[in-house]
A and B are shown apart, each in its own frame.
Chain A
Amino acid sequence: MDLNLTPQELRFRDEARGWFAENVPKDWVKRRDEEESMLGRFDYLRKWQRKLFDAGWAGISWPKDFGGRGAAVMEQVIFIEEMARAEAPPMANVIALGLIGPTIIAFGTPEQKKRYLAKMLSAEEIWCQGFSEPNAGSDLAALSTTGVLDGDHFIVNGQKCWTSYAWAADWCELIVRTDPAVPKHKGLTALLVDMHSPGVEVRGLKQMSGESEFGEIFFRDVRVPVENVVGKVNEGWGVAMGTLMHERGTFGAALQVNYRRNFNRLVEIAKTIDRNGKPASEDPVIRQKLAQCYAEIEVMRLNQMRAFSRINETGVPGPEGSIQKIFWSELNQRFQQVAMEILGPYGQLAHGSPDAFDEGQWAYGYLRSRGNTIEAGTSEIQRNIIGHFVLGLPKSY
């Protein structure tokens, strides 16, 4: 057991830290809180990602031949943490970087890697992930969007939903049913679909937090060339599972830094807000709750460190990623509730209220966290995965 960075990792960290110190845009933190159109903000993030790409910071662990840096997973993790620590803006093309790129690296043809990966890193082409459908959420393999072979094209018809960044996407990793005659997991195929193709229509879906991060996509007789199949025809389930493991494996890396920052801010607030004639930070009950949040954020960081060490050794994230997913999502909900208790009546004040703490981000954070145990696989599905794939209990569904 050795948690010290190797000399090489240390050099990498210092280089990243130095670059961020000089290049993180000064207007970002303020800009984040301002009323701004989603498209305007996205355009800003896209330019920021381009800057990272040009400086060699996009795709740390991706192959050099395709625009990446060719470094180890541990460097990727260090980079994500440094980025969060510097309060840098996120990259625009998150779905491509976190999920679809690694999937193409694992399952794609040399031509696909050459065609798509570098443009993911430069944010020239934005990606979304077309998995869930109105009647196929947790039971993803029940999806009914069809792909029917017609010469050298698949004709795609159907509807996807809860698709993050659908409104910005140029491309989509789409799972379709190509063989309805076989058991549900065996007739699926992963396709790379040009979102600008005729027959693709995107509609926004407003969330309880007030934003429209995700949307619905309708496919009507959309033609997709057969060379856009990822992996093999009718073997799309394995490709989809690979994508989801990446979603659970490394997605949390930046979260622990953000959680720690939110925690520190909440402690500052607790020192200024009154509770029974004393600062809330001196109230024994509040102290217990804050300390519990601190402990859990720390445990989440340590669980992740262990998981990353394992990925570094084995090369792939495992089903243990489901533990991380449950942990970060349920922890954030508990933390946001503690924030509400400390803020008292101020907690409910929304963006635009001059009396709100931190421009209303606590009210927003509380509402947004409600989605955490649903997005990227519900807590119930994660517990099924742990039960069956980790503990070896019989499949419940």
Chain B
Amino acid sequence: MQFGLSESQRILQSNARKFFAAECPISEVRRIMETDTAQDQKLWRSMAEQGFLGVVFPEEAGGMGLGYVELAALAEEMGRALVPGAFLSNLFAGAILDSAGATKHLASLAGGEKTATVALLEASASWNPEAVAMPTLAGEKLFVPDAESADMIVVVARDAGALALYLVESHAVKKTLMPAMDLTRRLYKVTFDHPAAELLVKGDDARKALDHALHVATVALCAEITGGMQRMLDIAVDYAKTRKQFGKPIGQYQAVQHQCADMLLYTESARSAAYYAAYTMTEGNSDAPTAVSVAKAYASDACRETGNRAVQVQGGMGFTWENDTHLFYRRAKASEIAFGDATYHRERIAQFVID
């Protein structure tokens, strides 16, 4: 038994860290987040060349065919670097297409020629697929990530009461920006008025494909959150070592030091839970849905608590626009919400282990 990355997983992670440090430093994140879509084509193509975009898609469909632990290792580095843009929404859409057997679209997603996103939430703002009410492609979807830069949109809808998944071209629908907290990822309201659509899958198969893809995206997000937490911890600890008050580095005071210790505890714990969820999904174990919810419930609270401490430790500096912490702090809130917050996942856990 060995709980930790294998040699090849370590190499993948270290290559990803070097890649993002070079290609996506924080100055680049700040530049890209000021653009309309926060999605940069040059960075995207470089990520595609590295194989990052298709890391878990099957090899025969143009992906790398790796497991979810590799996905987690990569996503953690993307969180650390605060990589802006469509990775997560593209992954979510690709995982649906893969599960639904629509693998012909995957090669262009893995290769970076096209991107896709998923329109799931409606005005009810529920992550539960049961809450989807939109009839076949007429109505509004909310909180759709990266819809403007996406070429394709997977739409979750109802066909005569049955859950159904469709694929539409993004240019065939109306997209309205929903300005939000995270500056590195855009959310849109998408209005459907009977666009041309390809039915992917329906009924139980639609639910299965959606559930699976939700787990894939949630695991990647949990690992990404861990990377962001680590970065906030590193920033705060560096500051606490150098900033002096009353003649001493503030990190020498226990009131500050203990907040840093808490951040490490949260970060390491979120990391354990994220990698376990990734591992158990790769193995196809029956506890995978519970493990995913444990990871997301924990990470959602832990990233908020870590962000709060990271700002607090840096005092007034931590509250400035110039300091990078707020970029991670904003992302942390968006990540806490995405794919269900702690309350949502705790109720899921309750259904798995109490009922």
Q: A270-B354, A295-B346, A303-B272 are in contact. Are A3 and B264 (CB under 8 A)?
A: no
A74 cross-chain contacts in B, Cβ below 8 A: 1
Interface of chain A, helix or strand or loop or mixed? helix
Q: How far is the CB of A268 from chain B (nearest CB, A)?
A: 10
In the assembly, what is the distance between CA of A299 and CA of B349, in Å? 13
A292 cross-chain contacts in B, Cβ below 8 A: 297, 346
Which residues of B149-207 have CB atoms within 8 Å of chain A's CB atoms? none
Which one of B240, B257, B265 lies within 8 Å of A327 (CB-CB)? B265
Q: How far is the CB of B40 from chain A (nearest CB, A)?
A: 32
In the assembly, what is the distance between CA of A390 and CA of B253, in Å? 16
B347 engages A394 (CB within 8 Å): no
B5 cross-chain contacts in A, Cβ below 8 A: 1
B268 cross-chain contacts in A, Cβ below 8 A: 303, 306, 320, 323
A3 cross-chain contacts in B, Cβ below 8 A: 1-3, 276, 279-280, 283
In the assembly, what is the distance between CA of A302 and CA of B279, in Å? 12
Bitwise interface map of B from 274 to 305 toward A, beta carbon under 8 Å scored 1, else 0: 01100110010000000101100110000000
B294 engages A4 (CB within 8 Å): no
A393 engages B272 (CB within 8 Å): no
Bitwise interface map of B from 248 to 278 toward A, beta carbon under 8 Å scored 1, else 0: 1101111001101110110011001101100
Which one of B4, B6, B254, B297 lies within 8 Å of A306 (CB-CB)? B4
Q: How far is the CB of B334 from chain A (nearest CB, A)?
A: 21
In the assembly, what is the distance between CA of A308 and CA of B273, in Å? 15
Flag whether B22 is at the interface (Cβ < 8 A). no
Q: How far is the CB of A388 from chain B (nearest CB, A)?
A: 8
Q: Which residue of B lies closest to A3 (CB)?
A: B1
Which one of A271, A291, A391, A395 lies within 8 Å of B347 (CB-CB)? A291
Q: Which residue of B lies closest to A379 (CB)?
A: B258
Which one of A267, A287, A299, A310 lies within 8 Å of B298 (CB-CB)? A299
In the assembly, what is the distance between CA of A382 and CA of B258, in Å? 9
| Most interface-central of A2, A306, A387 (chain B CB within 10 A) | A387
Bitwise interface map of B from 1 to 43 toward A, beta carbon under 8 Å scored 1, else 0: 1111110010000000000000000000000000000000000
B298 cross-chain contacts in A, Cβ below 8 A: 295-296, 299
Flag whether A37 is at the interface (Cβ < 8 A). no
B261 engages A310 (CB within 8 Å): no
A394 engages B294 (CB within 8 Å): no
Which one of A4, A291, A387 lies within 8 Å of B251 (CB-CB)? A387
A396 engages B257 (CB within 8 Å): yes
In the assembly, what is the distance between CA of A308 and CA of B349, in Å? 26
Q: A1-B6, A290-B354 are in contact. Are A393 and B1 (CB under 8 A)?
A: no
A383 engages B258 (CB within 8 Å): yes
In the assembly, what is the distance between CA of A388 and CA of B297, in Å? 29
Flag whether A305 is at the interface (Cβ < 8 A). yes
Flag whether A132 is at the interface (Cβ < 8 A). no
Which residues of A1-27 have CB atoms within 8 Å of chain B's CB atoms? 1-6, 9
Which one of A9, A326, A395 lies within 8 Å of B265 (CB-CB)? A326
Q: A299-B273, A323-B264, A393-B257 are in contact. Are A306 and B3 (CB under 8 A)?
A: yes
B346 engages A2 (CB within 8 Å): no
Flag whether A380 is at the interface (Cβ < 8 A). yes
Interface residue tally on A, bucketed by range: 35 or more
In the assembly, what is the distance between CA of A193 and CA of B262, in Å? 38
Q: How far is the CB of A307 from chain B (nearest CB, A)?
A: 9
Q: How far is the CB of A274 from chain B (nearest CB, A)?
A: 16
A9 engages B1 (CB within 8 Å): yes
| Most interface-central of B249, B257, B347 (chain A CB within 10 A) | B257
B279 engages A1 (CB within 8 Å): yes
Flag whether B69 is at the interface (Cβ < 8 A). yes
Bitwise interface map of A from 75 to 109 toward B, beta carbon under 8 Å scored 1, else 0: 00000000000000000000000000000000000
Q: A292-B346, A393-B251 are in contact. Are A327 and B241 (CB under 8 A)?
A: no
Q: Which residue of A lies closest to B342 (CB)?
A: A292
Which residues of B201-255 have CB atoms within 8 Å of chain A's CB atoms? 237, 240-241, 248-249, 251-254
Q: How far is the CB of B218 from chain A (nearest CB, A)?
A: 14
In the assembly, what is the distance between CA of A293 and CA of B240, in Å? 32
Which one of A5, A270, A310, A384 lies within 8 Å of B4 (CB-CB)? A310
Q: A1-B4, A309-B4 are in contact. Are A391 and B349 (CB under 8 A)?
A: no
A1 engages B69 (CB within 8 Å): yes
Q: How far is the CB of A36 from chain B (nearest CB, A)?
A: 34
| Most interface-central of A4, A281, A394 (chain B CB within 10 A) | A394
Q: A295-B346, A306-B272, A326-B265 are in contact. Are A387 and B260 (CB under 8 A)?
A: yes
Bitwise interface map of B from 311 to 355 toward A, beta carbon under 8 Å scored 1, else 0: 000000000000000000000000000000001001101100111
Which one of A320, A383, A390 lies within 8 Å of B254 (CB-CB)? A383
B272 engages A396 (CB within 8 Å): no
B343 cross-chain contacts in A, Cβ below 8 A: 288
B252 engages A393 (CB within 8 Å): yes
A327 cross-chain contacts in B, Cβ below 8 A: 265, 269
In the assembly, what is the distance between CA of A75 and CA of B187, in Å? 50
Flag whether A356 is at the interface (Cβ < 8 A). no
Q: A1-B5, A267-B353, A270-B354 are in contact. Are A383 and B297 (CB under 8 A)?
A: no
In the assembly, what is the distance between CA of A305 and CA of B252, in Å? 31
Question: Which residues of A are in contact with B by a Cβ distance under 8 Å?
Answer: 1-6, 9, 74, 267, 270-271, 281, 284, 287-288, 290-292, 294-296, 298-299, 302-303, 305-306, 308-310, 312, 320, 323, 326-327, 380, 382-384, 386-388, 390-396
Q: List 21 A-B contacts (CB under 8 A).
A: A1-B3, A2-B1, A4-B1, A4-B283, A5-B1, A74-B1, A281-B354, A288-B350, A290-B353, A295-B298, A298-B291, A299-B294, A302-B273, A306-B272, A310-B4, A383-B254, A384-B257, A386-B265, A387-B257, A387-B261, A396-B252
Question: Which residues of B are in contact with A by a Cβ distance under 8 Å?
Answer: 1-6, 9, 69, 237, 240-241, 248-249, 251-254, 257-258, 260-262, 264-265, 268-269, 272-273, 275-276, 279-280, 283, 291, 293-294, 297-298, 343, 346-347, 349-350, 353-355
**Chain A to chain B: the 4 pairs with minimum beta-carbon distance, closest first:** A387-B257, A291-B346, A393-B251, A302-B272
